[in-house]
């Protein structure tokens, strides 16, 4: 009976179309949080998410809705991130629901991530409720967007809700449509427990907290459960809903989305995507887990203080618990000491991990420039996977280097097709097709090396199309390219952490750009420091950092005390993020200079 009154759904959208704002309105309207507690974007709990205005981690919340039919429903709303780096998290949250609200901006229309997310929802057989948001904007064209949803996605949009999450218009209609159009969960109650772990966090007091969707059976405090992957068993200490604070309940049953705690101390034991079952009566077959996400980008993470290596390891283990896409393994660098080579889904993911490590775990880190993985064929017939440019074998030992290519889909108004193609071409892209979606909008498809996409491609795309283009991409295959490793020498010493891979045609230019850039970043010393770029033993670029005459950092020429304090603070933070290599101090920025050139 209770099952009939449960609705599990997610909200999917292209980034910035208003998903988090809509979630806030829904929470308000259902009195899940009092007005006093209401902070904007309540589901974005991480400080980082709030500051950046983006959703990173999925989050689930239970709410009560008194519908017009007189019944009270329990809604489980599972938030999803919108950025292309995190589509993995989207597919995870969708696996826990029966329905999805599709938010489309009435002024922007359907964009690349709208399509990508809808297809994920359709793959999961979800009921989709289209919502055209931001109808309060003067530039809103809701009827045009309704037509787009029909033509470009192939969804019936005749009942699409016209809404403004900001002004609170259409919210109740959305909730009514959820009651009507999202199917109630089914799943037997009198069978062994079968629950999917879709997220987990580590809490110092409660241990590991599992976020689960129960598909079959029931679970309550005192039950013995088994995690099917590792076979470990625990006694449940508490079950409940997040609302959004944890609220204990007597029992979770098939159809429910909630949490389980069981004094699980060992982080290693829990895996997102694993199935929880009853220890006494285990279910025969585990639920289908998640596709394993492979990192797209790698970089080295090093503590500025070498003594913090073990703290960094512990922090990475804890982060990995609710960020299954993060990978790490120890590595060492002559320049930076001991650290970890970490794998990320993209640059935003990398940024987020670094910031979380620094804030939540109080670490000061140096990150090396991100790199993709290369598949190298050696002259002796063996193959090698290179995740760190410093480990690229000598050119004389290499037969071929294969680099990852993505298939990129760019949606853009036709007046910007020229600049988009120019950009793709410059980034070594190979044109595939171009389709007109309607009179104005074009879908352009290119095959582009991943290494070109992860750097500043998206920024360049936005600036050359005045923000009108949207991008989605997926890894396609590895293709041979003419690539070389470029080493950087400071004071005649090779700094392994600064090595990078470039295309032969651009190598000389990149070498010049980077040495010039480093010259502006590395602080002067009381002696001259040569900076060189080299391919093998051949120097391709050279410049010098002049010796200083007087201490330039001690004087800040500004009368404004506020500004002075800010600058001093920046200097202090900058100093912490500095690594001494031989006699030269290298600031964090230097390791990223590869990203800012080319």
Task: Give me the residues that bind ligand GTP (CB under 6 A), please.
Answer: 13, 15-21, 53-55, 81-82, 133-134, 136-137, 164-166
Q: Is 579 annotated as a binding residue?
A: no
Q: How many CB atoms lie within 10 A of CB 557?
A: 6
Q: How far is the CB of 21 from ligand GTP (least distance, A)?
A: 3
Q: How far is the CB of 141 from ligand GTP (least distance, A)?
A: 14
Q: Is 134 annotated as a binding residue?
A: yes
Classify strands 6-13 and 99-105 as parallel, antiparallel or unpaired: parallel
Q: Distance of CA 146 to CAs 107, 139, 214, 585, Å?
A: 11, 15, 35, 57
Q: Is 223 annotated as a binding residue?
A: no
Helix locations, 155-263, DSSP H: 171-181
Q: Is 19 annotated as a binding residue?
A: yes
Q: Is 526 annotated as a binding residue?
A: no
Three-state DSSP state, 34:
coil
Q: What does the alpha-carbon distance between residue 585 and residue 578 come to, in Å, rounded to a whole number? A: 6
CA dihedral 392, 393, 397, 400 (to 10 degrees): -10
Question: Quick one: which of 197, 205, 307, 349 has its CA closest to 265?
Answer: 205
Q: Is 133 annotated as a binding residue?
A: yes
Q: Is 17 annotated as a binding residue?
A: yes
Assess contact for 24 and 205: CB atoms under 8 A: no
Name which of 164 and 218 has its Cβ closer to ligand GTP. Answer: 164
Name which of 162 and 392 has its Cβ closer to ligand GTP. Answer: 162
Q: How far is the CB of 52 from ligand GTP (least distance, A)?
A: 8
Q: Is 266 annotated as a binding residue?
A: no
Quick one: residue 18, left, alpha or beta (phi over 0 = left, psi -120 to 50 = alpha)? left
Q: How far is the CB of 290 from ligand GTP (least distance, A)?
A: 20
Q: How far is the CB of 172 from ligand GTP (least distance, A)?
A: 15
Q: Where are the beta strands (DSSP E) in 87-134?
A: 99-105, 127-133
DSSP 452: H
Q: How far is the CB of 550 from ligand GTP (least distance, A)?
A: 47
Question: Quick one: which of 368, 259, 273, 263 has its CA closest to 321?
Answer: 273
Q: What does the alpha-carbon distance between residue 384 and residue 128 come to, in Å, rounded to a whole number? A: 45
Name which of 16 and 476 has its Cβ closer to ligand GTP. Answer: 16
Name which of 131 and 490 has its Cβ closer to ligand GTP. Answer: 131
Q: How far is the CB of 3 from ligand GTP (least distance, A)?
A: 30
Name which of 134 and 249 has its Cβ closer to ligand GTP. Answer: 134
Q: How far is the CB of 411 from ligand GTP (least distance, A)?
A: 17
Residue nearest to ligand GTP (CB): 82
Q: Is 135 annotated as a binding residue?
A: yes
At what angle are helices 87-94 and 112-123 packed, to 10 degrees? 30
Name which of 82 and 343 has its Cβ closer to ligand GTP. Answer: 82
Written in H, E and C, the secondary structure of 245-303 is CEEEECEEECCCEEEEECCCCCHHHCCCCCEEEECCCCCCCCCCCCCCCCCCEEEEEEE
Q: Is 18 annotated as a binding residue?
A: yes
Name which of 15 and 592 has its Cβ closer to ligand GTP. Answer: 15
The sign one gets for the Cα dihedral 112, 172, 49, 63 is negative
Name which of 22 and 254 has its Cβ closer to ligand GTP. Answer: 22
- Residues of each annotated binding site for GTP: 16-21, 133-136
């Amino acid at each position: 009976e209770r099952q009939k009154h449960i609705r599990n759904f997610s909200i999917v959208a292209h980034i910035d179309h208003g998903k988090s704002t809509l979630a806030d309105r829904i929470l308000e309207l259902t009195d899940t949080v009092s007005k006093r507690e209401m902070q904007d974007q309540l589901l974005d709990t991480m400080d980082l998410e709030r500051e950046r205005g983006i959703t990173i981690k999925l989050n689930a919340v239970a709410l009560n809705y008194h519908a017009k039919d007189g019944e009270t429903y329990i809604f489980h709303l599972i938030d999803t991130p919108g950025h292309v780096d995190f589509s993995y998290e989207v597919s995870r949250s969708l696996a826990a629901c029966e329905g999805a609200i599709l938010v489309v901006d009435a002024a922007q229309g359907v964009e690349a991530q709208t399509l990508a997310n809808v297809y994920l929802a359709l793959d999961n057989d979800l009921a989709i409720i289209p919502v055209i948001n931001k109808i309060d904007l003067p530039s809103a064209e809701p009827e045009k967007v309704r037509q787009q949803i029909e033509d470009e996605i192939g969804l019936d949009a005749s009942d699409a809700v016209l809404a403004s999450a900001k002004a609170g218009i259409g919210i109740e209609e959305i909730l009514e449509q959820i009651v009507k159009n999202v199917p109630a969960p089914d799943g037997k109650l009198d069978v062994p427990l079968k629950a999917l772990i879709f997220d987990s966090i580590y809490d110092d007091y409660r241990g590991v907290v599992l976020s689960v969707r129960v598909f079959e059976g029931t679970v309550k405090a005192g039950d013995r459960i088994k995690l099917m992957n590792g076979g470990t068993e625990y006694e449940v200490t508490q079950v409940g809903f997040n609302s959004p604070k944890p609220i204990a309940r007597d029992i979770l049953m098939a159809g429910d989305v909630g949490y389980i705690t069981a004094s699980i101390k060992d982080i290693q034991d829990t895996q997102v995507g694993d199935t929880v079952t009853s220890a006494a009566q285990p279910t025969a077959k585990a639920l289908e887990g998640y596709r394993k996400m492979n990192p797209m980008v790698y970089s080295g993470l090093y503590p500025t203080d070498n003594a913090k290596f073990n703290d960094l390891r512990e922090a990475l283990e804890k982060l990995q618990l609710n960020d299954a896409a993060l990978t790490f393994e120890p590595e060492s660098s002559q320049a930076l000491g001991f650290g970890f080579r970490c794998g990320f889904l993209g640059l935003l993911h990398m940024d987020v991990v670094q910031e979380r490590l620094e804030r939540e775990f109080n670490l000061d880190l140096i990150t090396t420039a991100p790199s993709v993985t290369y598949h190298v064929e050696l002259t002796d017939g063996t193959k090698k996977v290179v995740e760190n440019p410093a480990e690229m074998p000598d050119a004389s030992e290499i037969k071929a280097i294969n680099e990852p290519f993505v298939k990129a889909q760019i949606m853009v108004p036709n007046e910007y097709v020229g600049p988009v193609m120019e950009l793709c071409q410059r980034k070594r892209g190979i044109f595939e097709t171009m389709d007109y979606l309607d009179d104005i909008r074009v879908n352009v498809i290119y095959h582009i090396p991943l290494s070109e996409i992860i750097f500043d491609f998206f920024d360049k795309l936005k600036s050359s199309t005045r923000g009108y283009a949207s991008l989605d991409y997926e890894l396609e295959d590895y293709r041979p390219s003419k690539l070389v490793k470029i080493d950087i020498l400071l004071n005649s010493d090779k700094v392994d952490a600064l090595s990078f891979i470039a295309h032969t045609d651009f190598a000389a230019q990149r070498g010049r750009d980077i040495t010039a850039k480093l010259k502006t970043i590395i602080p002067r010393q009381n002696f001259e420091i040569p900076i060189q770029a080299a391919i093998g033993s051949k120097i391709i670029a050279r410049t010098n950092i002049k010796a200083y005459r007087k201490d330039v950092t001690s004087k800040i020429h500004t009368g404004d005390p506020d500004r002075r304090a800010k600058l001093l603070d920046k200097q202090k933070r900058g100093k912490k993020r500095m690594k001494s290599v031989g006699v030269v101090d290298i600031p964090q920025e230097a390791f990223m200079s590869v990203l800012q050139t080319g």
